[in-house]
Amino acid sequence: MMKVVVLRWGHRLRDERLTSHLLLTARAFGCSGIVVSDVNDWDILETMTKIVRDWGGPLTVEMGISWRKVVTAWKKKGGISVHLTAYGENIQEGNVLKRIIAAKKDILVLVGSQKVPSEFMQSQVSDYNVSIGNQPHSEVAALAVFLDRLYQGRELKKQFYEPKLRILPNPRKKVVIKFGERDTLKS
């Protein structure tokens, strides 16, 4: 199975909540790692560490590394990079997803938060420029749709390693099991 890591480019401290949501989505939808490039935001690192501790992993989180270094190292190891952008090949209309899957390589998903440098569109950075609908939209939504299409829904059944908490689906109430205790937490 291919490894998928998300590179968040352009995180600004005022975007902390949106970046947190992006990282939560990456984890829940099957990614094995996250890189917040070019900045260190200890609040986000603390949030993700707590999520992995309570809800399970594995998940690596890295920060403060230049996006160029991340992309260069990824490609040097034989992986491909996929840039999610409104201007790329439409995931629904073309065969871009089939080509990504057929490559059978680890994937670095590039997700911006602000206007990304034009070089992101170039082949030296992005092997594929993929759009979700060719319209302005949230980067969180784009990542969720891309990962769901990539994994064909299988990520929704993912089992996480050593969780302390787990949600039990229930049509009428919240049920959370805390491992190591007999009682369920209900709210």
Q: How far is CA 17 from the centre of its chain?
A: 15
Q: Is the pLDDT of residue 90 over 80?
A: yes
Write out pLDDT tens, residues 43-76: 999 999 999 999 999 999 999 999 999 999 999 9
pTM, entire model: 0.92
Segment 138-142 long-range contacts (CB within 8 Å, at least 24 positions apart): 138/18, 139/18, 139/22, 139/84, 139/111, 139/112, 139/113, 140/18, 140/21, 140/22, 140/25, 142/84, 142/111
Confidence category of residue 183, pLDDT binned at 50, 70, 90: very low
**pLDDT tens track for 124-144:** 999 999 999 888 889 999 999
What CATH number should be reported for the domain whose range is 4-160? 3.40.1280.10
20-31: per-residue pLDDT in tens?
999 999 999 999
**The predicted structure's pLDDT at residue 13:** 67
> Which residue would you say has higher pLDDT here, 175 or 114?
175
* Pairing of the two strands 107-112 and 80-90: parallel
Band of the pLDDT at 115, cuts 50, 70, 90? confident
Domain assignments of the chain as residue spans, ordered by start: 4-160
pLDDT attached to residue 28: 96
